[in-house]
Amino acid sequence: MEELLHGLYPVLPTPFNEKEEIVFSDLKNMVDFAVQCGVQGIVLNEFFSEFYMFTDEERKQVVETVCKYAQGKVPVIVGACATTPMRATYWAEHAQDNGATAVLVSGPYLFPYSWGDLVDRGFRILDQKIHIPVIVQNAPADKLASNLNASISRDQAISLMKEFDHVQYFKEDTNGIQVEITRFWKAAQSLPEGRCKGLFTGAVSGSDIHDDYLRGATGFMPPLHMADARERQWQALSQGRLEDSLQLQFALAPLLCFERLFQLDVCKDVLKRRGIIENTNSRRRNMPVYNAVTREEFQRVYDYLIASGLV
């Protein structure tokens, strides 16, 4: 029987050096950190990972390196989002061939396709070529904080689950996420029993794991940097210790406020401070400036995390 994808699956950011070259040794360090935290799996090449700034060869190397290194240690979900549905199928097959547990697929993120084209040229072929679960991702432009838009609505996701055997999960990344979780499960009542195997929430807009869980989220894909605290929170929730989970949520609140503004920069800053990566460099050019003044302000937050025993 296929194991359900439930629990904590943190997203690995991509580590770059001063020349903005990928540091594969740091990718392995992040895998080791995730394993030490006891998470249920990891996620590669999600939008948070900056995959859309990779060359094709880099994208292959990241998947091949991490899947090989993580084999037998932790399951790997690989993002297969692309500019066309045909390219998404290509990347999904590549992930499957390299041992991925599941793939994450959104709509094309630069130019929209009609729904009929997306189904017939994308998901129909994808469903025929792979045998691992597909997680449909709704990643609208407000989540991506850019000109990228890879949205697939809950109703569209449900229609895909009705038609295709391997489309089994939904990842909701839109703003107002708690309300959307409730709406998704209400709409999903139209599905045959067992067709939807779970609902994930995402990185920044899915930062309130406590309320997400109470609304019906079954899995979480936060950034990697606080995976140990988030895993403790998942264990508290899954064991019914709601007060312990809520206390962790409150304790993380100052950090989460910074994350909403600086997202990837905060994640990499914390990973560097924790000795997991060497540099905080990014290839993104469209985010708020994370400068010396901001780092000084963040130092107070980090000192609080240390005092609270969270890092």
Please tell me the predicted confidence (pLDDT) of residue 45: 96
In the predicted structure, residue 145 carries a pLDDT above the cut 70: no
Write the burial class of residue 194 (CB in 10 Å: 0-12 exposed, 13-18 middle, 19+ buried). Answer: exposed
Sheet strand arrangement including 42-44: 7-8, 219-220, 198-201, 167-172, 134-138, 102-105, 76-79, 42-44
Statement: the pTM of the whole predicted model exceeds 0.75: yes
Looking from the CA of 14 toward its CB, the CA atoms found within 13 Å total: 24
pLDDT, tens digit, 9 for 90 and up, residues 220-270: 999 999 999 999 999 999 999 999 999 999 999 999 988 888 889 999 999
Please tell me the predicted confidence (pLDDT) of residue 63: 98
Please tell me the predicted confidence (pLDDT) of residue 144: 47
Least confident range of 144-148, 243-247, 267-271, 272-276:
144-148
Write the burial class of residue 8 (CB in 10 Å: 0-12 exposed, 13-18 middle, 19+ buried). Answer: buried
Q: How far is CA 54 from the centre of its chain?
A: 17
Mean pLDDT of the chain: 92
Could you give all domains of the chain from N- to C-terminal order, each with its CATH number?
Answer: 7-307 (3.20.20.70)
Question: pLDDT tier at 206 (50, 70, 90 boundaries)?
Answer: low
Question: pLDDT tier at 72 (50, 70, 90 boundaries)?
Answer: very high
Alpha carbons 37 and 63: distance in angstroms, whole number: 21
**Who wins on pLDDT, 207 or 88?**
88
Residues 6 or more apart from 175 whose CB is under 8 A from it? 142, 143, 205
Residues 6 or more apart from 265 whose CB is under 8 A from it? 280, 282, 287, 290
Question: pLDDT tier at 1 (50, 70, 90 boundaries)?
Answer: very low
Angle (nearest 5°) at CA 62 between 58 and 63: 120
Alpha carbons 103 and 135: distance in angstroms, whole number: 6
Q: β-strands 102-105, 134-138: how paired?
A: parallel
